[in-house]
Amino acid sequence: GNSVTQMEGPVTLSEEAFLTINCTYTATGYPSLFWYVQYPGEGLQLLLKATKADDKGSNKGFEATYRKETTSFHLEKGSVQVSDSAVYFCALYSGGGADGLTFGKGTHLIIQP
């Protein structure tokens, strides 16, 4: 079956630090990969996506590259802000129809001023 593994944290960084959140996956076929972000008390927001190998998704300064050879989709940001504090979920979709996403356990990110 499908699975997603990511560091759970909490990950605590200082403002303007470099961020990496690791995500690796196991899936049948060629999944699409996503990062979602959840701010306290809110639903999930799609942060970025990639649909095939070597695709780079990017949004709001965050980037992730679909690496098929290492089955990874690590999230990076060059300079984090306090407002980036949230829970980040790596997810994949590999179904042929209207199936649910497979989520990692989530990484709680805390940015200190």
Partner 1 sequence: DTEVTQTPKHLVMGMTNKKSLKCEQHMGHRAMYWYKQKAKKPPELMFVYSYEKLSINESVPSRFSPECPNSSLLNLHLHALQPEDSALYLCASSQRWGQGAREQYFGPGTRLTVT
Report the interface residues with partner 1, using CB under 8 A: 32, 34, 36, 41-46, 49-51, 89, 93, 95, 97-101, 103-106, 108
The DSSP letter of residue 72 is B
CB of 79 to partner 1, least distance (A): 26
Query: In the complex, what is the shortest distance from the CB of residue 65 to partner 1, in angstroms, rounded to a whole number?
Result: 15
DSSP-derived secondary structure letter, 83 = G
- Helix, strand, or coil (residue 66): coil
Pairing type for strands 44-50 and 75-77 reads unpaired
Residue with tokens 């079956």: 1
- For partner 1, give the closer residue by CB, 13 or 101: 101
Q: Indicate the residue among 46 and 82 with the shorter CB distance to partner 1.
A: 46
CA dihedral 99, 3, 108, 82 (to 10 degrees): -70
In the complex, the smallest distance separating the C-beta of residue 18 from partner 1, rounded to whole angstroms, is 25
Residue number with CB closer to partner 1 (3 or 79): 3
Yes or no: say if 107 and 21 are a contact pair by the CB < 8 Å rule. yes
Of residues 18 and 39, the one with the C-beta less far from partner 1: 39
Minimum Å distance from CB 31 to partner 1?
A: 9
